[in-house]
Structure 1
């Protein structure tokens, strides 16, 4: 699909069609999903049910799938330096993995938070840090976590973070409490990227830094794994206390005061990857909805013949397609301008506000037509809903992204059309505030 955008007499052509390389990956990944991943879901959930919510070991079937994905060249697709894929080329592939969000992203080594951490290490780590942590992450040998959010403050504004990381000779000493630290309960989690204050008295955007903390460092106390709507994630979403945790100063990422900038660089791609997968989850929910309404009889006819059900299907298709186009536009803009450009950051904010809400809406409709079956574990819909409802909070809540979008609109330079429209509005307002003068003006004109 070609979309042409005209701005300030500059013509930019957006081509969202799949390249030959992306199409080849898409075909192979589709086969992997249908032949290997979907059949593995039953084994995955049976293992988790038997192990219980407090056991965070990975079901063996995931490691088997990782070997298959590696052998098929479906590995580290998210990272352009590894796969050679652009963000736009990766988008439909990430969408496919969203069909089986608990298994497929990890099976292809494209699961959060590892993806964001690998990008962070790729961009900001020293050679020694890359060798020690990035290489085993890229190989899928270990897992990692990103420790930023805190229970005591509104962490959507990183300037609020209270955890301290103070220099003491050749070390940094870390004290603080973090929560919703995804992945930290998994026994394979070996490294945490921790954000905290190294200079509490500095400028607001230069107070924070990031540092590498091995998970087995003394003083790292994982207190609990938080459930989401009653479900325990296999990797865990943990509350962690850092009690006088001492790590070498050489573990610092980049330089002191760069934590805020690193967070922005890390979160941009991560946010859009979540959105790509959300589209896939919505597609699966719609597929389940369509299958259900064609076979379920109510009031003497299939649900598919009920007008309200047809409207739910049509709305869902419209919303998925609209979201996909916005997601692809954001990915294309990142490819063209980099994820630090204002255009890219605005589009990422837009898609992050749109995609989780769209997924929640589509999944909710699918739950509704499934009736009681929709809210139990016989279908994946309840789990899909819980994840995407949480997605409206993590990586920045909806309200923060909407604030960004509104601020950009209010600060945008007016186009010629908008300027003309404003003049008309000013004239109308003047007439309303002084009706007598307006009538005299009209009389003079028609005189």
Structure 2
């Protein structure tokens, strides 16, 4: 595996970094001032649209979407360092139209949508004109096992009727959200892995009720937000199904692979920025007559952080390489491994950075506390650690499984 980046990728790294330094970081304060001054937290600050238009005009747009002429023509390995750079600041992914859950939803529609779906929903998503949400997790069941999902999508003539309750539906609070991908059972009594389907549901369809927004460790993630949503006799045309009936579980597996690796790429960037904060702090504070840089334990924190970041990056690049060369299915073990490694690595690095800042580290004066909260959720989102470890162990044990011995009756 050769992870040397092409001249094109190196140029994009420089351009994305420069754009963030020149336009995103200076406007973070403006973004939150506009958000806090709005009549509701669920309002889109105008500065975001200004930054998006500028990024689009400079060709720094839709950098994801491998194997599609609709993206920037980058492989997963080529996109990885760019996604990492975006992970350094919370606003950057949306600025470049590379934010979740839109990226996963766009990839899903590219792969499994009809021409009509692509014209009606994919086109405005790719243009950054609207946003979207993904409704899969449910409060009443253990959704780490997607086959538990109870929402019903029952066909009546030329329509599907949707009934169920979802939560952690990220993006549904955003006023720009116009389309949801909803997963539910079209054949409640059917085979375990083919009883579910995914359908496109316009946000303004009658019967959709957002009961509440769900804060994460006290952060509301406005204007994006996470909602608990009820679907009560929501009707959509049968033509809104993605791929075909019974393919919901298969779509979920295909969708979550790219989503997981994007999270890991961004977490590496977040960990890098946290390590920078840590290093900067070591020369600003001098407890007991020595700077933090001279304290042996702090040096160990810095060394361990660098080691762990490099390990996570290399494993993430290996997973990206496998997705590019043998496909998401063949690379599922590596994808599962990075989904365990990256959030846990980031949490360790961020926690050490917080410790170097003392009380300031857990305040809102620095971004570390919110960064920790974000990283902690990713040990749950797109599958908890335990599910991924279980999948890794199963694949690792497969060659050792005893062969069945045929017993012949005498």
- TM-score tier, shorter chain, comes to over 0.9
Q: 1:318 aligns with which of 300, 307, 310?
A: 307
Q: In structure 1, what is the equivalent of residue 386 of structure 2?
A: 399
Is 1:58 the counterpart of 2:44 in the alignment? yes
Per the normalisation by structure 1, the TM-score is 0.88
Q: Distance in 2 between matches of 1:45 and 1:355?
A: 28
| SS of equivalent residue, structure 1 residue 295 | coil
Can you give the 5+ residue segments of structure 1 that lack an aligned partner in the other structure? 1-13, 415-447
Q: Deviation of residue 413 (structure 1)? A: 5.5
Q: Distance in 2 between matches of 1:97 and 1:286?
A: 16
Q: In structure 2, what is the equivalent of residue 96 of structure 1?
A: 85
| SS of equivalent residue, structure 1 residue 40 | helix
| SS of equivalent residue, structure 1 residue 245 | strand
Superposed, which structure 2 residues align to 1:183-202 within 5 Å?
Answer: 183-202=171-190
Superposed, which structure 2 residues align to 1:253-272 within 5 Å?
Answer: 253-272=242-261
Q: In structure 1, what is the equivalent of residue 194 of structure 2?
A: 206
Q: 1:34 aligns with which of 21, 27, 34?
A: 21
Can you give the 5+ residue segments of structure 2 that lack an aligned partner in the other structure? 402-410
| SS of equivalent residue, structure 2 residue 87 | helix
Q: 1:70 aligns with which of 33, 48, 56?
A: 56
Superposed, which structure 2 residues align to 1:76-87 within 5 Å?
Answer: 76-80=62-66, 81=68, 82-87=71-76
Deviations 1:167-189 (A, max 9, x none): 00110000000000000000100
Is 1:220 the counterpart of 2:211 in the alignment? no
Q: Distance in 1 between matches of 2:232 and 2:344?
A: 38
Q: Distance in 2 between matches of 1:57 and 1:229?
A: 21
Q: Deviation of residue 47 (structure 1)? A: 2.6
Q: In structure 2, what is the equivalent of residue 169 of structure 1?
A: 157
Number of aligned residue pairs: 397
Q: In structure 1, what is the equivalent of residue 376 of structure 2?
A: 389
| SS of equivalent residue, structure 1 residue 110 | coil
Q: In structure 2, what is the equivalent of residue 245 of structure 1?
A: 234
Q: Distance in 2 between matches of 1:160 and 1:117?
A: 22
| SS of equivalent residue, structure 1 residue 412 | helix
Q: Deviation of residue 45 (structure 1)? A: 2.3
Q: Deviation of residue 126 (structure 1)? A: 0.4
Greater helix share, structure number: 1
Superposed, which structure 2 residues align to 1:90-129 within 5 Å?
Answer: 90-101=79-90, 103-129=91-117
Q: Distance in 1 between matches of 2:34 and 2:399?
A: 53
Q: 1:22 aligns with which of 2, 6, 9?
A: 9
Per the normalisation by structure 2, the TM-score is 0.95
Q: Distance in 1 between matches of 2:316 and 2:27?
A: 29
| SS of equivalent residue, structure 1 residue 205 | coil
Q: 1:375 aligns with which of 346, 350, 362?
A: 362
Q: 2:119 aligns with which of 131, 140, 156?
A: 131
Q: Deviation of residue 51 (structure 1)? A: 3.8
| SS of equivalent residue, structure 2 residue 193 | helix
